């Protein structure tokens, strides 16, 4: 079935809850359970929905989705705790502090990682599950 919206997708990421497509133009379209985008998860508004512009990479994890925009990582998802470590009850996109040279993102069940321009990875937990020894908070 063709999804209305994305016309020139260069990348697609999926989880059990949602799917997102990155267009060559940098627009990111997502559809499905868009946790963290709207005040009442899961978002059930128009689908697909443009959730970011100017992106160069996108990755979905268990309950979070992240994009790279001009070297910065911006994420949204379940708010327990949020990707930046704060326990808050707000919705929308959060910039991950301390990352300015990301070239890619990877989503996992309990963590998200950014690949930096140096090749090094910077990872942080997106749930209450502790990080592995090799993972670190930004």
Pair 79, 72: CB distance under 8 Å: no
Domains in the chain, please, with CATH? 9-125 (2.40.128)
Q: How far apart are the first and last CA of the chain?
A: 39
pLDDT at 88 over 50: no
What 8-state DSSP symbol labels residue 51?
E
- pTM attached to this predicted model: 0.76
pLDDT at 78 over 50: yes
Measured CA to CA, the distance from residue 113 to residue 105 in angstroms comes to 6
pLDDT at 9 over 50: yes
Q: What is the pLDDT of residues 54-77, one digit of tens each?
A: 999 999 887 778 999 999 998 887
Percentage of the chain modeled with pLDDT above 70:
67
């Amino acid at each position: 079935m063709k999804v209305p919206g994305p016309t020139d997708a260069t990348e697609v990421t999926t989880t059990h809850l949602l799917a997102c497509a990155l267009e060559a133009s940098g627009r990111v379209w997502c559809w499905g359970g868009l946790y963290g985008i709207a005040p009442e998860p899961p978002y059930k508004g128009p689908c697909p929905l443009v959730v970011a512009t100017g992106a160069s990479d996108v990755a979905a994890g268990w309950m979070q989705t992240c994009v790279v925009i001009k070297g910065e990582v911006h994420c949204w998802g379940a708010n327990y705790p949020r990707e930046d470590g704060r326990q808050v009850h707000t919705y929308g996109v959060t910039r991950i502090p301390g990352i300015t040279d990301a070239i890619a993102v990877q989503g996992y069940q309990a963590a998200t990682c950014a690949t930096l321009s140096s090749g090094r990875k910077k990872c942080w937990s997106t749930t209450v599950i502790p990080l592995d020894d090799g993972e670190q908070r930004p």
